Amino acid sequence: MAFETWFIAPLSALISILVGLYFLRYVNKQDSGTDRMKEISNLIRSGANAFIRREYTTLAVFVAVVSILMLIFLPSPVWQTWGTTDQWKNFQLALAYVFGSSCSALAGLLGLNVATKANAKVAQAAKSGLNRAFPVGFRGGAVMGLMVVGVGLFGISVVYWFTGDPSIILGYSFGASSLALFAKAGGGIFTKTADISADLVGKVELGLPEDDPRNPAVIADNVGDNVGDVAGMGADLFDSYVASIVAVMILGLALDSITGNANLFIQIPLVFAGFGILSSIIGALTVRVGKQGNPGNALNMGTYVTCIIFGVTTASATYYLGYDWRIWGAAIVGLSAGVIIGVTTDYFTSEDKAPVLKTAEASKSGPAINIITGFSYGLRSVLLPLIGIAIAAAVSFKLLEPLGQQYSATIPYAPLSFAVFGIAMASLGMLSIVGLTVSNDAYGPIVDNAKGVAEQAGLSEEVIAITDELDSAGNTAKAITKGFAIGAAGLTVIALLAAFQEIVRNETGTIISFDLMNPWVLLGALIGLAMPAVFSAMVMLGVGRNASRMIDEIRRQFREIPGLKEGKPGVRPDYNRCVDIATRGAIRELMPASVVAIVATLVIGFVCGIEALGGYLVGSIFSSLLLALLMANAGGLWDNAKKLIESGKYGGKGSDAHKAAVVGDTVGDPFKDTAGPSLNTLITVMSLIASLFAILIVNYNLLKLLGIQ
């Protein structure tokens, strides 16, 4: 073939980056409004930049230390490979690691940059109507979406181009993941510290409305939306996206060696990912809302359009490139499961369905019953997504398994290798449209901030109402994109588990088992079960501690600044101190939990061996799927129960029911925006560490040393 098919990936990625830059220019050209609006926007931007600068400085140290360690130890200790052809592998891996973390940081910075500018521009455009403001918000979000997939896939293509070795791409993926873990935890702690403190003192104690400029934490709260929900979320999905592609490539390489093809199965994920990006770009360009249109529907329509384009283009590719149709089938199974999970998840957080209605009603009996009810519905909500993931995994497994039958006489594990490649393709299918889902997700905090700017700058009621409508559209779209994120994370980690098994098989020849009747697997699984819980606890306790400090500060300002509470003209709170408390707290708290999780993974491996490590991954995957679903949905429904009451139901604003619902919402904040979403990244990081250290662990572990294993 004259044209290398895998070029589809880097080309699509470049187009994505270019369209992203075009959107960036589009947003930059918009008017930022009055001086007061610019001032507020500047406060938010400088707060966000200050935090990001400090966060990335801390992370740079971490990345430097890890890359030196990798240079020495991975994939093999340098003293073993010195002088052999493998001596450059350590260098390649460390370089890929630094490259991966840099790419993730770059995508995050670009997205954050436009998001912190777009807020005032959306508010200003809202003066000319909804259909003028909507594209500014959406395109602002799309910068993040297109950059995440563009930079991510381009980076993979570059590493693949230079090395042709998916085990080096693993290093790139690990770079992205470790950055995402810290960015997600740090941003999550920042945003919820500010949100909780602003709510508890402002709304509950003093009865101020949301985004009231008298509240000293209001700027910190807006900064939090950007560093948590834009930059953190972007890093998170960058990580999942890259990890899912790498998992398929590793499993594809195994198929290439089984079937004797050169570069067939390893390139399929790149081709599919390329078409996924092109579909997302077209989807993003078609998103628009008419004069009377509904922005929520517009966003969801974009998702469906993207799905259909992806289905059609990959079908054509399958036909022209002669891929087996079952592979396409697995990707479509994944994509469909994503949509179905999204729609069912929507049920638990919709304001007109039983869970939110009953939770809001329960608020009349006080905060405790609100918490019990919301938590219970959160527990119940895990069922359907888990069934969805389970069926998608089983179907894609059985779909591809028969392709391996013909090789099973000589290679007994061939059917299994094809089957797990199927699961990995399903996860890739789900994540293929991530360019668009991230765009929708980043749209949310931008228009939320626009509303904040409008409120603080004292714009007219009509303008505020338009930003409100834009904001609630973000929530509608979020349900479906969240379904994708959760489902994809579930399938991706299963694919990573299979990749881990494949790496061990490839290096040692033995197929490690995940059978729980193996005592080491059982041991690892039981301990793994605890890790996501411990990690969640650590970040949430961080939020709690940090919020306590900020609450004290807010109370102090209201006590000591004369005229602040009464809203005397010209009296302004000291916003910067709150931003500073959130920043310092987040930087201090973001490290321990992540480091504990990383170190625990290594300890299990180097003490109890590779089988225990496999069990450990299984245990943590199960535990984090359960906790992530519970936390995301419970948090979302508490939030909406509060909003329902604020809309006038069950007593309305200021009633006892409202106060109870605010307690529920506050509890839900770190659930849904700090701990819950970090768990996806956590298990990706753990799985990547396990894969990277697999060979070392097989050779050196305590139980083997003691002769027990």
Residues 592-651, interacting with a second copy (CB under 8 A): 618-619, 622-623, 625-626, 630
Closer residue to a second copy, CB minimum distance, 457 or 634: 634
Q: Give the nearest distance from C-beta 308 to a second copy in angstroms.
A: 28
Rounded least distance, CB 513 to a second copy, Å: 6
Q: Which one among 663, 692, 695, 697 touches a second copy, defined by CB under 8 A? A: 663
How far is Cα 675 from Cα 628, in angstroms, rounded to an integer? 8
- What gap in Å lies between CA 461 and CA 401, rounded to an integer? 60
User: How is residue 33 written in tokens?
Assistant: 């409004």
Choice between 227 and 618, CB closer to a second copy: 618
Amino acid at 40: I
Amino acid identity of residue 72, one-letter, is I
Shortest Å distance, C-beta 627 to a second copy: 8
- Minimum distance of a second copy from residue 659's CB (angstroms): 10
As a whole number of angstroms, the distance between CA 189 and CA 546 comes to 8
Tell which positions 541-600 bind a second copy, by CB under 8 A: 541, 543-544, 547-548, 551
Nearer to a second copy among residue 361 and residue 448 (C-beta): 361
Nearest to a second copy of 382, 503 (CB atom): 382
- CA 243 to each of CA 25, 65, 430, 615: distance values in angstroms, whole numbers, following the listed order: 30, 22, 13, 20
Q: Which residues contact 559 (CB under 8 A, 6 or more apart)?
A: none
How many residues are present in the chain? 709
Q: How far is the CB of 599 from a second copy (least distance, A)?
A: 14
> Structure tokens of 602?
């290594």
- Considering the complex, what minimum distance in angstroms separates the CB of residue 368 from a second copy? 4
Q: Angle 367-380/354-362 helices, nearest 10 degrees? A: 160
Shortest CB 391 distance to a second copy, Å: 7
Taking the C-alpha atoms of residue 155 and residue 297, their distance in angstroms, rounded to an integer, is 33
Least distance CB 71 / a second copy (angstroms): 33
Query: What is the DSSP secondary structure assignment for residue 77, as one 8-state letter?
Result: -
Where b means 16+ CB within 10 Å and e means fewer, 629-650 reads bbbbbbbbbbbbbbbbbbeebb
CB of 221 to a second copy, least distance (A): 16
For a second copy, give the closer residue by CB, 245 or 426. Answer: 426
667 scored as a contact of a second copy (CB under 8 A) = yes
Q: Taking CB under 8 A as the criterion, which residues in 186-245 touch a second copy?
A: 196, 200, 204
Residues 6+ apart with CB under 8 A from 176: 100, 101, 103, 104, 152, 235, 238, 239, 242, 243
Nearest approach, Cβ of residue 285 and a second copy (Å): 37
Nearer to a second copy, 218 or 494 (CB): 494
Per CB under 8 A, contacts with a second copy among 414-443 are: 416, 419-420
Contacts made by residues 501-510, CB under 8 angstroms, sequence distance 24+ = 501/420, 501/614, 502/250, 502/251, 502/254, 502/417, 502/420, 503/167, 503/250, 503/691, 503/694, 503/695, 504/610, 504/694, 504/698, 505/254, 505/413, 506/254, 507/694, 507/695, 507/698, 508/695, 508/698
In 10 A of CB 511, how many CB atoms? Answer: 12
State how far the Cα of 334 lies from the Cα of 240, in Å rounded to an integer: 15
**Interface residues for a second copy in 246-265 (CB under 8 A)?**
none
Which is it for the CA torsion 575, 653, 370, 624, positive or negative?
A: negative
Site for a second copy in 280-309 (CB under 8 A): none
Between 143 and 631, name the residue whose CB sits nearer to a second copy. Answer: 631
- The residue (of 315 and 379) whose beta carbon lies closer to a second copy is 379
- CB of 178 within 8 A of CB of 685? yes
Query: What backbone torsions phi and psi does residue 231 show, to the nearest 5 degrees?
Result: -65, -45
| 537 binds a second copy, rule: CB under 8 A | yes
Q: How far is the CB of 364 from a second copy (least distance, A)?
A: 8
**CA–CA dist 642, 558 (Å, integer):** 25
Closest distance of CB 25 from a second copy, Å: 42
Give whichever of 130 and 181 is closer to a second copy, judged by the CB atom: 181
From the CB of 611, what's the least distance to a second copy, in Å? Answer: 11
Biggest alpha carbon distance in the chain?
84
Which residues have a Cβ under 8 Å from the Cβ of 361 and sit 6 or more positions away? Answer: 650
CB of 579 to a second copy, least distance (A): 20
Query: 281 or 399, CB closer to a second copy?
Result: 399
CA–CA distance, 86 with 249 (Å, rounded to integer): 21
Residues 95-134 that bind a second copy (CB under 8 A): none
Closest residue by Cα to residue 623 from 407, 382, 400:
382
Of the pair 262, 517, the CB lying nearest a second copy is at 517
- What is the C-alpha separation between 578 and 553, in angstroms, rounded? 7
* 111 vs 338 by CB, closer to a second copy: 338
Enumerate residues 437-496 that contact a second copy by CB under 8 A. 490, 494
Our CB check for a second copy shows the closer of 158 and 607 to be: 607
Angle of helix 295-321 versus helix 434-456 axis, rounded to 10: 160
Judged by beta carbon, residue 140 or residue 385, the one nearer a second copy is 385
Dihedral, CA of residue 559, residue 561, residue 563 and residue 569, to nearest 10:
-150
CB closer to a second copy out of 247 and 531: 531
Considering the rule CB under 8 A, would residue 497 count as an interface residue with a second copy? yes
Residue nearer to a second copy on the CB measure, 315 or 541:
541
Q: How near is the Cβ of 67 to a second copy at its closest, in Å?
A: 30
Chain-centroid distance, C-alpha 579:
24
Give dist(CA 351, CA 637) in Å, integer.
8
Q: Which residues contact 541 (CB under 8 A, 6 or more apart)?
A: none
DSSP letter at 208 equals: P
* x-marked contacts with a second copy along 140-179 as a string, rule CB under 8 A: ----------------------------------------
CB of 158 to a second copy, least distance (A): 32
Residue among 71, 516, 561, 603 that touches a second copy (CB under 8 A): 516
Other Cβ atoms less than 10 A from the Cβ of 76: the count is 17
Q: In the range 336-395, which residues lie near a second copy by CB under 8 A?
A: 358, 362, 364-369, 371-373, 375-380, 382-383, 386-387, 389-391, 393-394
CB of 380 to a second copy, least distance (A): 4
Of 648, 680, 643, 649, the C-alpha closest to 664 is 643
> What number of chain residues touch a second copy (CB under 8 A)?
81
Give the ranges where 350-460 is alpha helix by DSSP (H). 354-362, 367-380, 383-400, 414-431, 434-456
Of the pair 176, 386, the CB lying nearest a second copy is at 386
The residue from 91, 128, 515, 559 that contacts a second copy (CB under 8 A) is 515
CB 295 to a second copy: min, Å: 31
Indicate which single residue of 259, 300, 432, 501 sits in contact with a second copy (rule: CB under 8 A): 501
For a second copy, which is the closer residue by CB, 55 or 401? 401
